[in-house]
Amino acid sequence: MPPPDADLHPEATGLARKLVNEHSEPQPLKLYAGWFCPFVQRVWAALEEKGIPYQYIEVNPYHKPRSLLDLNPRGLVPTLQYDNKPLYESTVVCEFLEDAYPNHGLRLLPEDPYVRARMRIWTDFVTTRILPSFHRFLQFQPGNSSIDTVRSEFLDTLKQFADAMDEQGPYFLGTEPSLVDIVLAPWAVRLWVFDHYKGGLGMPEEDRAGSAKGSWPRWRKWLAAIESRRSIKETTSEMEHYLPIYQRYADDTAQSELAKATRAGKGVP
Ligand SMILES: N[C@@H](CCC(=O)N[C@@H](CS)C(=O)NCC(=O)O)C(=O)O
């Protein structure tokens, strides 16, 4: 029997629907995607930012069709097919897009080796620290520990991220976005889940009363820039179709690899 997670709206909606329609023609570069998936949104936004021609192919990774398993034995989206060869793991795929298409659109990786390495530290921080604590908070059930603990652990990861940003911004490294912004953006635009299911995100208004500086004003400046980015808006579907999916996480009944990893106290699959 397919897991409950397999029961999803079958296709992208809203602005994302329009983008899917524009990318339905066969191309040498194919993105096997799920419209709802934040890891997919990383790669999808990177493709859009760089203006790389691609074909969008919707698959349900909880049904794991043969077409997906043949390319990626783990059966996860995003999976890329490039010149008939498979690639997966969203961050690796984004880096690959920069390497393979260096002269297209936005530069995802800074040229300076030090800045590039530092950006990778924070890209890794997103996946190994922010995302697991996002999910511990989202999947929290009364009786385990206290929701205040998981909430403040999550906020602390966001604060560390904000504190590492360029002071002016608005993006992490400064005036232009880069990979580190794109890897967090899909979760940043899903923060509504905490208001909807967990009694609020609980982010302080400001660090110090009246201060324009500090972590949270900087976080909000970053978030506003991310939320208004075309590549993020146009890869986001209508809210109503995310609700049943996130309800399963909020109830901790989801059976996805990510949900199971969170329950087992592990990192992102
Ligand atoms: N580490 C992977 C994670 C991808 C992932 O977990 N994708 C989810 C959808 S959001 C999936 O395919 N899940 C199928 C499953 O859990 O069986 C990446 O960064 O690409």
Catalytic residue list contains 94: no
Question: Going by CATH, does the domain composed of 4-100 fall within 3.20.20.80?
Answer: no
pLDDT (mean) for 71-98: 97
Q: Is the pLDDT of residue 212 over 60?
A: no
- Cβ proximity of 29 and 78 under 8 Å: no
Return d(Cα 44, Cα 103) in angstroms, integer: 18
Q: CA 38 from chain center: how many Å?
A: 4
Assign domain 113-263 to a CATH class.
mainly alpha
* Residue nearest to ligand 1 atom 11, measured at CA: 76
Q: Report the run of H or E that residue 50 belongs to, with start and end.
A: helix 38-50
Gyration radius (Cα) of the chain, Å: 18
Return d(Cα 145, Cα 148) in angstroms, integer: 9
Span 221-241, pLDDT tens digits: 999 999 999 999 999 999 999
Which residue among 16, 33, 37, 173 is the active-site one? Answer: 37
Q: Report the run of H or E that residue 19 belongs to, with start and end.
A: helix 14-22
Pocket of ligand 1 (CB under 6 A): 34, 37, 39, 61-62, 75-78, 88-90, 256-258, 268-269
pLDDT at 210: 52
pLDDT (mean) for 191-207: 91
Q: Which two tokens stand for residue 139?
A: 């999947």
Q: Is the pLDDT of residue 208 over 70?
A: no
73: burial class by Cβ within 10 Å (0-12, 13-18, 19+)? exposed
Q: What is the DSSP letter of 256?
A: S
Span 124-168, pLDDT tens digits: 999 999 999 999 999 999 986 899 999 999 999 999 999 999 999
Ligand 1 mutation pick, 8, 69, 77, max ligand atoms within 8 A of CB:
77
Question: Which of helix, strand or coil describes residue 88?
Answer: strand
Q: Is the pLDDT of residue 186 over 60?
A: yes
76: burial class by Cβ within 10 Å (0-12, 13-18, 19+)? buried
Q: Share the mean pLDDT of the chain.
A: 95
- Cβ proximity of 119 and 179 under 8 Å: yes
33 CA from centroid of ligand 1 (Å): 10
pLDDT at 6: 86
For residue 63, what are the contacts with CB-CB under 8 A and spacing of at least 6? 2, 6
Return d(Cα 92, Cα 74) in angstroms, integer: 15
- Phi first, then psi: what are they for 81, rounded to 5°? -120, 120
Encoded amino acid at 186, one letter: P
Least confident span in 41-50, 114-123, 144-153: 144-153
User: Nearest Cα to 161, choosing from 104, 110, 226, 77?
Assistant: 226
Two domains, one topology: 4-100 and 113-263? no
**Nearest atom in ligand 1 to 93's CA:** 20
Q: Return the domain boundaries, the chain.
A: 4-100, 113-263
